[in-house]
Structure 1
Amino acid sequence: MTATNNSKILLIESQYFPSVYFYKTLIESEILQIERYEHYQKVSFRNRCYVAGPNGVILLSVPLSKGKNQRTVMKDVRISNVENWQALHWKTLTSAYRRSPWFEYFEPELEELYEKRFEFLLDWNLACLEWVNQALGIHPEVRLTDEFRKTYDPATNVSDKRDHMVPGQLPEEAPVYTQVFGERTGFFPNLSILDLLFCEGKRGLELLK
């Protein structure tokens, strides 16, 4: 997708395998601009995502080297790799989604991603973003901010959604589809985009529109 001066830009913080609502918002823009000069905010999607398990929603949280109370600039936030959190996250995903229609299709490449070590949270999130974009078949131009600006001129076509998507406060403007444990738990809206991909595969993009 080639950007023009009139291209719509979505400005948002870096997130770990973002929600379905994030991608529903993203597909309306040609350019995705990731904020990297903000201060890290705890209890956010920056280092967490939510997936569906047999007993309800499961939180996957990336451990950080200075804990969740740090006030570090996002581009400098380091992951704590003292414990093998990636293996634990992958085990959770495998257990939750091995019976989903599309898990085996995505498994090889996603498992390879979870085997790569990352030092910075931003780099890990960008790798997750790139993987999902390819899996969905979308190709927004991805940019990183060069500085922190509190506000943006509306004339620049920037849609500033920084800190608009907060865990537990997402609007339920998201597609409904068959989840693995839906008959037991009921439907959970706006989980990580991984849930939609594992359950619907390439059809996920159609459902986002």
Structure 2
Amino acid sequence: MNLFNFNYDDMTEPYENKTLLIESQYFPPIYFYKTLIEVNILKIERYEHYQKVSFRNRCYIAGPNGTILLSVPLSKGKNQRTIMKDVRISNLENWQALHWKTLTSAYRRSPWFEYFESDLEALYEKKFDFLLDWNMACLEWANGVLGISPEITFTDRFEKTYDPVLGIVDKRDHQQPGHVPEGSPVYAQVFGERTGFVPNLSILDLLFCEGKRALELLK
């Protein structure tokens, strides 16, 4: 079942003591974390132009009938060409309450949902004006639960390419919805018996299903 389109031709190269450069994402997919745990520094691109149909404002979770898309509404819509750091969230409707209701419905029966419920619900009750700030809050929450603490930095200007001597592993836009990469961990999912295993969903799926074992499965 091809649901996400990734280009990870060189994802197996050694990343230790290198910097992973990637775009900001909403509760990133699992394979992103397989790469993140191999580096010491994470650099978030914030001077690119927003691109639609990407993980910048969307994540995918498991539902009883297959994947469910959670999409953060934007004030200028999905076709804008705004610099990422300036992309604003549209809070005209309570999208956070809708996302939380969907997560609760999908994962209430998962082994670890109750364990994370209180803290995650509090996150979904906080209001954010900018997409980058929301994504960072999600990233930091997931990192804390996984027990990883990479140094996080941000770009201060847009560079199309980087000199390899800088030790920067540029993975911007290597992750696109549409195709599944090889090597994603396999584990028991809530609706697995009904839908079959769905690989490389949001890190939330792995956390709700495997809890403290999630980091072990990413290695």
**TM bucket normalised to smaller:** over 0.9
Q: Structure 2 CA distance, aligned partners of 1:40 and 1:89? A: 22
1:170: Cα distance to partner?
Answer: 3.7
Contact map agreement 1:21 1:170 (CA 8 A) in 2: no
Q: Structure 2 CA distance, aligned partners of 1:54 and 1:39? A: 35
1:160: Cα distance to partner?
Answer: 0.1
Q: Secondary structure at the match of 2:176?
A: coil
1:173: Cα distance to partner?
Answer: 1.8
- Which residue of 2 is the match for residue 57 of structure 1? 67
- Which residue of 2 is the match for residue 139 of structure 1? 149
Q: Structure 2 CA distance, aligned partners of 1:137 and 1:45? A: 23
Aligned-pair Cα RMSD in Å: 0.8
Q: Secondary structure at the match of 2:93?
A: coil
Within 5 Å, which residues of 2 pair with 1:1-209?
Answer: 7-209=17-219
Q: Structure 2 CA distance, aligned partners of 1:196 and 1:7? A: 26
1:202: Cα distance to partner?
Answer: 1.0
Q: Secondary structure at the match of 2:175?
A: coil
Q: Structure 1 CA distance, aligned partners of 2:172 and 2:118? A: 33
Q: Structure 1 CA distance, aligned partners of 2:142 and 2:121? A: 13
C-alpha deviations, 1:125-179, integer Å up to 9, x for none? 0000000000000000000111100000111110000000111134132100000
| TM norm structure 2 | 0.92
C-alpha deviations, 1:98-124, integer Å up to 9, x for none? 000000000000000000000000000
Q: Secondary structure at the match of 2:111?
A: coil
Contact map agreement 1:172 1:190 (CA 8 A) in 2: no
Listed as ranges, the gaps of 5+ residues in structure 1 are 1-5
For 2:45, the aligned partner's letter is E
| TM norm structure 1 | 0.96
Q: Structure 2 CA distance, aligned partners of 1:117 and 1:7? A: 35
Q: Structure 1 CA distance, aligned partners of 2:179 and 2:144? A: 27
Q: Structure 2 CA distance, aligned partners of 1:136 and 1:170? A: 22
Contact map agreement 1:14 1:122 (CA 8 A) in 2: yes
Q: Structure 2 CA distance, aligned partners of 1:78 and 1:7? A: 34
For 2:205, the aligned partner's letter is D
For 2:70, the aligned partner's letter is L
Taking only the aligned residue pairs, the percentage that are identical comes to: 80
Contact map agreement 1:172 1:189 (CA 8 A) in 2: no
Moved over 2 A (4+): none
For 2:197, the aligned partner's letter is F
C-alpha deviations, 1:53-95, integer Å up to 9, x for none? 0011000000000000000000000000000000000000000
1:38: Cα distance to partner?
Answer: 0.1
